[in-house]
Amino acid sequence: MKFLVCKDYAAMSEWAAQVVKEIVNNKPTAVLGLATGSTPVGMYNRLVEMNKAGEIDFSKVTTFNLDEYYPIDPANDQSYRYFMYQNLHGHINILPENVHVPCGNCEDPDAEGKKYDRMIEEAGGLDFQFLGSGVNGHIGFNEPDAELVAGTHKTALTENTIEVNSRFFEKIEDVPRFAITMGMAPILKAKKIIILINGENKVPILDALASGKITTQIPATMLQMHNDVTVVTDEATAAKMHESF
Ligand code: GLP
């Protein structure tokens, strides 16, 4: 696991966008694993700019998003499908058929999970996975627990996640209580992973990663077992850490 401290959030976003640009320029048919939340927005903005400037071409790229609320209509403006359209997919030259987000209104979430994993395999696996981290260390919606699940699956959100994510909703009761998330296996099988973690409330997660320990109670620590992970933060956050990289 490598650690990178950038000046600020803009520099983190720029660095991540350059990584994506390099991957896609080297392999125009790249398969990218993408995330939602506030963390990737800066990177997505840069990718849109780069695409408009002709610096990156998404015409042969395929994307798989980590997760989606359940149940939710994909057209709902709180869905992750909608979020991705607003922040990235609607502004770049990607083919709609190459965009994948778990189906939030499917009838059978177990079958949907299996189908999603199969589609990732059939696409050749993920060349790259972008991750953010929950304040509790979740990745995708793999929440802290005594056991984690390998395949893509339906999961209950923790009270902590529901509370944290309620900032995007009018009231906390509107936050879905379930999600379909990529499991740990497709994430850990990605060839390259970067995880952006900044903000004072996520210092404990960075400390956990710097400690080198692994626990299912902080799912992000499972990334220790991957051989190409870069943890990216900013100077202000790094300054608040108790552990050192
Ligand atoms: C969300 C998503 C995660 C994301 C995380 C952090 O709920 N399921 O994929 O990384 O929470 O969100 P943020 O970047 O807004 O802190």
Q: Which of 133, 160, 161, 234 to probe ligand 1 with, by most ligand atoms within 8 A of CB?
A: 133
**28 torsion bin: left (phi>0), alpha (psi -120 to 50), beta (else):** alpha
Structural tokens at position 96: 């709609």
Task: For residue 175, give every residue at least 6 positions away whose Cβ sits within 8 Å of its Cβ, in sequence order, or none.
Answer: 157, 162, 165, 166, 169
Confidence (pLDDT) at 245: 85
Instruction: Identify whether 243 is part of a domain.
Output: no
Instruction: Identify whether 44 is part of a domain.
Output: yes
From CA 224, how far away is CA 221, in angstroms rounded?
6
Ligand 1: centre distance to CA 120 (Å): 21
Instruction: Identify whether 166 is part of a domain.
Output: yes
Per-residue model confidence as pLDDT tens for the chain (245 residues): 999 999 999 999 999 999 999 999 999 999 999 999 999 999 999 999 999 999 999 999 999 999 999 999 999 999 999 999 999 999 999 999 999 999 999 999 999 999 999 999 999 999 999 999 999 999 999 999 999 999 999 999 999 999 999 999 999 999 999 999 999 999 999 999 999 999 999 999 999 999 999 999 999 999 999 999 999 999 999 999 999 88
Confidence (pLDDT) at 12: 98
Q: Is the dihedral of CA 62, 29, 92, 166 positive or negative?
A: positive
**CATH code at 231?**
3.40.50.1360
Ligand 1: centre distance to CA 243 (Å): 23
Instruction: Identify whether 21 is part of a domain.
Output: yes
Structural tokens at position 176: 């879905």
Instruction: Identify whether 244 is part of a domain.
Output: no
**Domain of 166?**
2-238
Ligand 1: centre distance to CA 132 (Å): 6
Pocket of ligand 1 (CB under 6 A): 35-39, 66-67, 132-134, 140-141, 165
Instruction: Identify whether 245 is part of a domain.
Output: no
Q: Whose CA is nearest to atom 9 of ligand 1?
A: 140
Q: Whose CA is nearest to atom 3 of ligand 1?
A: 140
Distance from chain centroid for Cα 47: 16
Q: How many domains does the chain have?
A: 1
Which residues are registered as beta bridge partners of 229?
Answer: 193
From CA 180, how far away is CA 16, in angstroms rounded?
25
Instruction: Identify whether 161 is part of a domain.
Output: yes
Instruction: Identify whether 58 is part of a domain.
Output: yes
SS3 for 62?
strand
